[in-house]
Amino acid sequence: MSENLQPNGVLKGVKVLDFSEYIAGPLAGEMLADLGADVIKVEPPHGDFWRHTAPVAPFESRGFMGVNKGKRSISLDLKNPGSKEVLRRAVLTSDVLLANYRPGVAARLGMDYATLSALNPRLIYCENTAFGSKGPYADRPGFDLVSQAMTGIMSFEGAGGLPHPIITTSPTDLSAGMFMAYSVAAALYHRELTGKGQYIETSLFGAGIFVQYRPMFAIEKFDRANREEMLRDIREARAQGNRADEATAERRSRGDQLRRGNPYYKIFETADGYIALACLNNRLRRAAAGVLGVEDPRLAGDQFNVEQLGPDETLVIGELIAAIFSSRPTDEWVDLFDAAGVPSGAVKMTAELFDDPHVEAEGFLVDLEHPTLGTVKQANTPVRMSGGETGTRRSSPALGQHTEEFLGELGFTGDEIAALETGGVVRRWKRGA
């Protein structure tokens, strides 16, 4: 392993076998690599499926490269009986294994937790699935879009009842990956205390529920009756063959009005663009109103008193604030709000972040050298630690780029590696091939 490419981080010396594909598991591996772990991306002969989604070169896609930096790649055919010895040696010398197989697949491949922990009791085995392993959805496949739908994220985000997926990022994938990395770090600490590894399970569905800290929260004495009435409306509508969103539109519109009618936490059009104003308490709202030059009786006390104005007055003041914002360019508004201590920011295009001076000063983008595509710029870890370096200097790997190197570390000779390749057990990457 080229030590100069990995940070001298707090996880230096930790070896991770990353068998996961797509987003959640690979992100977890990338996060561990950013803290100094040696992460081995173990891929089938065709590679992680994410490599083939909108490829920019053979076996390379932006999606894959974005969540696999900092890793080494080996290509191993787990369906080939010859892979058993490679897997055995790899597990014996590793600390962590990441996987995201559907229930039952790992056991068929002989790499489930029960089998591998018998080889290495110190192994930390972290598995992510779509829905978890116990409930009635356990055997169903799923991706982020399905989790957004089934956890209610879409319906909560949709204005006027129209389901609206979050497509600029993958919230359940990314949060599940973060939970994987977080739980692995905790398990490593626990192993230091006990000497024992353990099994960890996460799911996209569970992550989608957890991150909805507001909609997935109920004070039962206040909320239960309304929820049960809504559920009754939904059941009746579906029993009659009608759409549930139409049957509950009026009930949900009241909540939408409260969520979307606050002019102090909103996006506004300016003379030359857009600005986000984000005030979450009345002290900040009063300061914002002062900058805007508006009088709003709802801001007098400690709480935003929506009852202070009627619907028509609420509409008028909202339109007034929108008109005021349109009178100046975005940068002028940001300067005024900064001077008043009010949180605000220009709505930017992602391309602008590549030249943003704050992004450069904080090192939030990093230049890496990819083995086939040359220099790539991508997001760097936002974590900084006084106890060790963070942020890898290794790009995402080519498929099988480190097969020979890693097998050599496991004790396989050159002739044995060549035989494994000839037998279709492993695949080696060759520059220019």
Partners of 166 in the β-ladder:
none
52 in Cβ contact with 20 (< 8 Å): no
| pTM of the shown model | 0.93
| Angle, alpha carbons 328-331-334 (nearest 5°) | 95
Specify the pLDDT at position 121. 98
For residue 1, what pLDDT is reported?
Answer: 46
pLDDT digits (tens, 9 = 90+) for 279-303: 999 999 999 999 999 999 999 999 9
Which pLDDT score, from 0 to 100, does residue 251 have? Answer: 67
Show the low-confidence residues of the chain (pLDDT under 70).
1-4, 158-162, 251-261, 432-433
So what's the pLDDT on residue 245? 78
* Residue of 52, 41, 24, 53 lying closest to 129 (CA atoms): 24
DSSP for 362-412 reads HT-EEEEEETTTEEEEEEPP---BTTB--S----PPPTTTTHHHHHHHTT-
